Structure 1
Amino acid sequence: MSDIDTPPRKIRCKHCDGLFFRPHGAGRAPQYCSSKCRSAAHRARHISPTAAPAENYDQEVEVIGQSVASRARMLAHASALPVPTLPLESIRLYVALQRDLEDYIAIAVRQALARGAEWDEISALTATSTSLLKSRFSQPQVSKVRSKRRKRRPTRPRPSAAASASWHAGEAPVYVELPSWQWARDALARALSYLHRSSGLPVRTLGFRSGVSASYVYRVMAGERNPAWETVQGFARACDCDPGDLLDLWNAAQGFTDDDSGTQPTYAQALARFQGAFRGLHLATARSPLETFSNALETASRMELRLIESLLGPTTAKGAEQLSWPTVAALTKALRGDRERMRNLWRPLRSTAPHPVTPTIPAAAFG
């Protein structure tokens, strides 16, 4: 049978779902039965769906806003560190911050439309033409933004991951979830970044010793990835650092803490956890000298100042239970830590101390 004898096939319109014959034999097959259907389909792609409630965007706007604040803090910290940062670290943080801001405005526009705002109002506020706004922030375009963001977002840590963070071999601490963990992820990223800079190791070598790729090491140090405990251990050992100094930061970054209802630790365990938590926070501040915190510790006694120097040093800080809570709280605040979390480590240290705790006299009393 020749092509002339072949009966024409019907095509289904993508807009009205009706059937029509192909008007021309050559070229690409049409998708719409008429110009009216083609125009209507084009308009439908740029009209905000009224069925999408505002709460679909509220949570995502909040999450991106927190990410913007976190990256801005990391960028400010990297710019003010006494130790030079990686050559590209500030630029890497800036690019990630800019990407978050672009995602934020896209979803915020759709949120405003879902809440009743008009395109003209958004145009006046952003000094952008209405046609450009409708093109950039149409529903399909914003859906692509949300999809890409979900693909690159690190997964939320699972409670079962804490089982690998035991302090001693064969020990399995009990953990409970915390509502906030972003501060610890930032601190952990800063601590790992400082360890890398002070070690002088190439990123590729550090990744090899940690069991991950070089690109993943960069993402961990920028706070874009939440590493497994095995990765943190390998990272610390490669940089000649005690992994215990990073354990509390890692636990907090996962959203876990020691459960006060669990087994009472020994004095040695309580002291190791207490000192490790402070040394981890000290790493996150690039091991700033003690003089940096002189204003915050002006009420501490001379004995407490010596204990703090030992606490942040490489040797075991014997007698750390003599530190009063006001001094511990002031040091925690100076190191940008979580005071409530540190209180939960300070209490077991005091209660398991082998010798009675003596009251301290502030250094100011000596003139």
Structure 2
Amino acid sequence: MAAPLRSVDYSCSFFPLCTPGQEGPVLEDKLICCHCRVPFVRPHRLGRLPSYCSVACRSEAHRTQSPSSSSAADVSTRINKSVQSKTRALARAAAGPSYESALTKLARCRNIQQDLSDLMAVLSRQALHQEQASWDDIARSWGLPAEEVRTSVEAADAATRRRRPLSGRSYQAADCVSAQHRLGRALSHLQRRDGRSVRALARALDVSPSYLSLILLGQRVPSWDRIAPLIQACGGRPDDLHGLWERARGLQFADKTPDQYQQALQAMLRGLHVAACEPDIKELTATSPLLRARQVRAMLRGAPNGPALAEWPAVSALARALQADVHEVRRLWCGAFDTSP
């Protein structure tokens, strides 16, 4: 008599095929691979039932899968929002006369296409593991051969795994980083770059080390009269961080002339660059196809009224690469180039 089927532990699977305690699908001494869904013969009569047909399938499943199906739903929701926002922006740019070039619009289309590919890969995984669909069923939805669909999904999974924050630093999402924290991060980076300890810097500024530590942690935002000498003492430019200080204090942008808005926009980008620990130009250009090294240098160090800052897609891409609040940057850009937000 064949050995009784044992429960398979799916605790490390990205999309659970069955709940703990249920038995894996069996077809007359054959099992179905939890990853590729291909039937395979049980290699040994004793021991726990294998979940995958090969070591390669097991490794691929563990790399691409996450602890719960809710994670996949979150990924799908984020991609949906990204597609919607990018599509609306492309529609506005293509509706009539635009400052954007045809190449910029093509880059927008490519970004949307990449998001759609990622979304199709996520939905394919959901259909495969949650709805028990086969690769042939998924291929019919794609309108492509099953082998080509499987290759495309696996390539999209690999591309998603390769995406990492700049230089492996632990950047947080822009909507999770408070304005105070961002200012403190910029000041802390200047202090580390200066090389002096907190105690030595506090002695030079005639403040207590504990109070200076609270400032560097973003837990205190003193007046500009105290922040500006701190920036200067660390070799920074106070104008670059003035916009971050205004946001941390909850101040609204004052009305300015277009030239003043352009200067404020460039200073804000430089301040965000400092808050991101001054990543290299190559690291920034690697985050978006819209960014070029010369263009990024011009936005950070060139003339405020130069053509680089006039291209909103590039400014937006740089702001996102620096984990900034794009809406605040957009307000400055609109004021600089007399455009409605």
Shorter-chain TM range is 0.3 to 0.5
Please identify the structure whose Cα radius of gyration is greater.
Answer: 1
Question: Normalized against structure 2, the TM-score is what?
Answer: 0.45
Question: Normalized against structure 1, the TM-score is what?
Answer: 0.42
